[in-house]
Chains A and B, each alone.
Chain A
Amino acid sequence: MKKTNIILLVVIAVAIGVIITMVGDFSTYETFATARQKEGKEFHVIGTLDTLQHMSYDPQKDANLFSFYVKDKTGETRRVVFYGAKPTDFEKAESIVLTGKMEGQEFHCNKILMKCPSKYKNDQVAVGNQTL
């Protein structure tokens, strides 16, 4: 067998291995209800801001704590806690993709992706509480 062929086989094996380990990294889109069943694991939740309920951010007390209410696809509303500054234009977001996990009755998220009305074409904003 030619060396090139052996190398190719090795490469294919590595590639398959890499892909399999990667799939394990993939997160899933959940609702609050399904995320609660698997408490402690991180998920993506898509929802809309519940504007009827209070949104709180008081930087004078804590610049890294922002909480609000989100209604997910099934209509369930949960309080969401984000350890970071309140993103700009947050009220205008049409829908929100949250990355985080359920902790009791609250959803703790570390990343918010907002989709704003198509006023601009680059109309999405991602905010993480950590510099990635």
Chain B
Amino acid sequence: MKFVGEHLLLGQLGHFFAVLAFVASMVASVSYYCAVVNKEESAKASWKKVGRWSFFIQSIAVLAIFCCLFYILYNHFFEYKYAWRNTSRDLPVQYLFSSLWSDQEGSFLLWSIWNSVLGIVLIRTSGKWETPVMTVISISQLMMSSMLLGIFILGYKVGSNPFMLLRQAEENQAAPIFQSAEYLSFIKDGNGLNLTLQNYWMVIHPPVLFLGFASTIVPFAFAFAGIWTRDYTGWTKPVLPWGLFAIAILGLGIMMGAAWAYESLNFGGYWAWDPVENASLVPWLCMVAGVHTCLAYKSTGHALKSTVFFFFISFITILYSTFLTRSGILGDSSVHSFTDLGMSGQLLIFMAVFTVPSIWIMIARRKEIPTVNKEESTYSREFWLFVGALVLLIAAIQITFTTSIPVWNKLLDITGLRNLLKIDQMAPPSDVMFHYNKIQIWLAIIVGILTALVQFMKYKDTPRRELTRKLLLPTAISLVATLAIIFAGGVHFTEYGAGFLAAIYFMLFASIYAVVGNFMYIFIGLKGKVKSAGASIAHVGFGMVLLGALLSSAKKEVISLDKMKMLSQDIFRKESKQNARENIMLPLGVPVEMGEYHATYVGDSSATGDAKVYFKVDYERKDKSGKIVEHFRLYPNAFVNTKENALTSNPSSRHYLDRDIFTYITATPPLKDKNAPADDSTKYVSHEVKPGDSIFFSKGFMILKDINTKVSNRNYEAKAGDLAVGADLEVFTQTDDHFKLQPVYLIRDSAYQYSIEDTLAPLALQVRFSKILPAENKVQIKVKEADSNSDYIIMKAIVFPYINVLWLGVIVMIVGTFIAIAYRVKLNKGGKTGAAKAKEPAKQKV
């Protein structure tokens, strides 16, 4: 059958490039491999040339796949499943990028593009390391491009083709709609992009994160190349800038994800120890450890093996995290993992291809890796760098262990040990945050203090007196600052008992110490030379991240507590503490006390072209005398699906320098109530009054001031011959506000009676001047109140103090790391700087 309106060429082109990328990266891998193992110089050179060209070709092919896919999404060619699944016609253009990498295929593609870019940079810069390093990169490209193949090899489906047609998808093949040649004319719109992904962070966070993922392979490749070619030491020089780059970009990517979670997800925070977050944090910790041991090695010759180990596991944990998030194994434990695409086997192979050879070669040649037999001094920098790296390793192990619960379950099932040992299905801890925090906080304390101390130590040995002298001032300042914060009542966090509070105090000190120590080191140790202070600046940033994380979580306060309900029912129950009532109802127009604010829901609004409904919430802060000292409006918004009465809400925050007030909608009344044609469940109530009389209604009363022949009602348009009078009403409510209304009664063309209503929106009041009763000298006023309680929102509001310290810390850390990269690159270019560097140990620490 010939189907009408399909654009098949693009998909075929895209699939062709996918196959080309696969073949070219295979050629590149083989050629680079041959270039390494071949003994003959001329053969080496020609293999290298083939390797380079095929790598270029695969890079172009990968880019072409990206372009084809983007073109399909941009033009909404819904015959392609990818376009149908992830886009809709009303999707703003910038979110097409989010659509592109919202599915597994697209994110592999993104990763693959970055790998290509990194590969090309390596071809240009890595000199004699090019062939072994590029062998590793090409193999990873081979694995990556196989994920996009979507072809069957020996009955096993390899990869998933992003250019699959909707009608070819397995679940659709039998669908009657696709039996019609004109089926496309029935598919008016796509499924659309998941609403939480329609956020600007989702446009920029994945590219940065995947660049971070991709960059972890470079230190892996260098370490592997070093052992493989038996040049056990030379690689430690070019690897450093790459290791730093990976730290910076992966760290930035993770924190951008945190920013996204903070701004668009309703977890009430930026970090939830979700498996997906953990999975990218662990490789970062390993990379940080590896870079630090690498520095120790470069200055002293110690810790080469651990450097290799850390660089290896950093990339291996990246592969493991890819497996966790993409195989569907996290199903019951994570909020945002991918669903299973049936590629688990392939992902395991991907992991094995890198894990097995690297671990094997490390063990097989362990004796050849040079070590120093002399023991490190306790007063040496390298010793504490090593200790710090081990602490990071423990952190990584703990996080991995708990995150892997679904894997343990699977392993127990596969090996049959579950029945043997009678182990239940394990589930994540019920208080996940505390589970991680109570262990990680101690590790963070050690790392924070080491960060401050170790800068002041020298490699090999430090004269003790000098060390104490230099440390005295920063230590004293940090102690005073910590005690000041504690005594100023800065931190109360008794929820988990005194032990944890003590840990928080220690951590407060550790993070302040890290900031102060490193900041002062820039002046004491480095004499204020910024170019070489990258490490110290990055450490200041790290300290700020710790401090910001500590303060914002320990001092976080939910202000939207439903105190009434708490008092009435829960206070005597044992869960009253646990089940804090954190949602509060705001009826339309009624101020509700929240912390030091009064919040009032004043209505909603929506704009054409924007699927979101914005809920307007006014915040007022009054001083003791009742004067309003601050007033602002927040617009927490939500995508409201009227058909299904579903709601996906986005928070809105008021940002201060020292805190954020974070507000989001948890529920709204069923929308059909609101959209129903003028809900006439309530009726007009008639009142016959004369001027001076009052009319009472539920929220107050109104006084008929006068019958006025000067009509000023905005709904009334005067016509010649009209006989119009208005009833001047003054409305008083329980709050001190009063309003004026003027409903109008008129006789037009001497025959027709009209009455023009006046309305008072905040009180949902409609007033009609319906009759004049000349005999009684009265008028008839009809009053209608809409059911005021039918419009309300349920919301949550949280105050995050000092969260800006965290975000600023991230920026400082990134800037510092890039200064360090620039410094390292310059040193490496300087060539024979090995000896010169040893004289300047102060600059070695990153």
The interface of chain A, by Cβ under 8 A from chain B, is 2-4, 7-8, 11, 14-15, 18-19, 21-22, 25-30, 42-44, 46, 57, 59-60, 62-64, 83-86, 88-89, 92, 97, 99, 108, 110-111, 113, 115, 118-126, 129-132
Contact = CB atoms under 8 A, between A and B. Distances in A.
A89 B102 CA distance: 21
B91 interface: no
Given A83-B575, A121-B339, A124-B335, A29 B424 contact: yes
A69 to B, nearest CB: 20
A33 B451 CA distance: 51
B648 A88 contact: yes
B562 A64 contact: yes
A122 B401 contact: no
Q: Which of A97, A115, A121 is most buried by chain B, counting CB atoms within 10 A of its CB? A: A121
Given A62-B565, A86-B667, A27 B430 contact: yes
A83 B579 contact: yes
Contacts of A44: 332, 427-428, 430
A22 B575 contact: no
A15 B394 contact: yes
B359 interface: no
A22 B339 contact: no
Interface stretch (B142-150, B375-383, B469-477, B770-778): B375-383
Nearest to A101: B430
B582 A64 contact: yes
Interface stretch (B30-38, B243-251, B267-275): B267-275
Interface of B: 102-104, 191, 194, 196-197, 267-269, 272, 331-332, 334-339, 375-376, 378, 383, 386-387, 390-391, 393-394, 397-398, 401-402, 405, 424-433, 435, 439, 556, 558, 562, 565, 575, 578-585, 644, 646-649, 666-667, 669, 789, 792, 794, 796, 798
B103 A131 contact: no
Nearest to A126: B335
A89 B396 CA distance: 36
Contacts of A108: 575
Contacts, number: 171
Contacts of B394: 11, 14-15, 18
B405 A26 contact: yes
Given A29-B427, A86-B667, A121-B338, A63 B584 contact: yes
A122 B583 contact: no
A25 B429 contact: yes
Nearest to B424: A28
B580 A26 contact: no
A11 B583 CA distance: 44
A120 B383 CA distance: 50
Q: 8 closest Cβ contacts across the A-B interface?
A: A131-B268, A83-B579, A85-B666, A44-B427, A120-B194, A64-B581, A29-B425, A25-B429
B292 to A, nearest CB: 15
A110 B426 contact: no
B187 to A, nearest CB: 16
25 contacts: A3-B378, A7-B386, A15-B397, A18-B394, A19-B401, A25-B429, A27-B428, A27-B429, A30-B424, A42-B430, A44-B427, A59-B583, A59-B585, A63-B666, A110-B579, A113-B335, A121-B103, A121-B194, A122-B197, A124-B336, A129-B579, A130-B582, A131-B558, A132-B269, A132-B433
Contacts of B432: 132
Nearest to A60: B789
A127 to B, nearest CB: 8
A57 B429 CA distance: 28
A70 B397 CA distance: 36
Nearest to A21: B439
B269 A131 contact: yes
B429 A63 contact: no
A90 to B, nearest CB: 9
B585 A123 contact: no
A22 B401 contact: yes
Contact of A7 (B104, B387, B405, B578): B387
Nearest to B334: A124
Contact of B583 (A19, A26, A84, A126): A84
B794 A85 contact: yes
Contacts of B431: 25
Nearest to B332: A97
Given A15-B397, A126-B267, A126-B335, A85 B191 contact: no
B348 to A, nearest CB: 21
B427 A27 contact: yes
A129 to B, nearest CB: 6
A22 B398 contact: yes
Nearest to A57: B667
Contact of A28 (B383, B426, B562): B426
Q: Which of A28, A63, A108 is most buried by chain B, counting CB atoms within 10 A of its CB? A: A63
A123 B330 CA distance: 12
Given A85-B794, A132-B268, A22 B402 contact: yes
Q: Which of A44, A88, A92 is most buried by chain B, counting CB atoms within 10 A of its CB? A: A88
B332 A113 contact: yes
Contacts of B272: 132
Q: Which of B331, B666, B796 is most buried by chain A, counting CB atoms within 10 A of its CB? A: B666
A115 to B, nearest CB: 7
B459 to A, nearest CB: 16
Nearest to B566: A64
A46 B332 contact: yes
A18 B194 contact: no
B794 A63 contact: yes
A60 B588 CA distance: 12
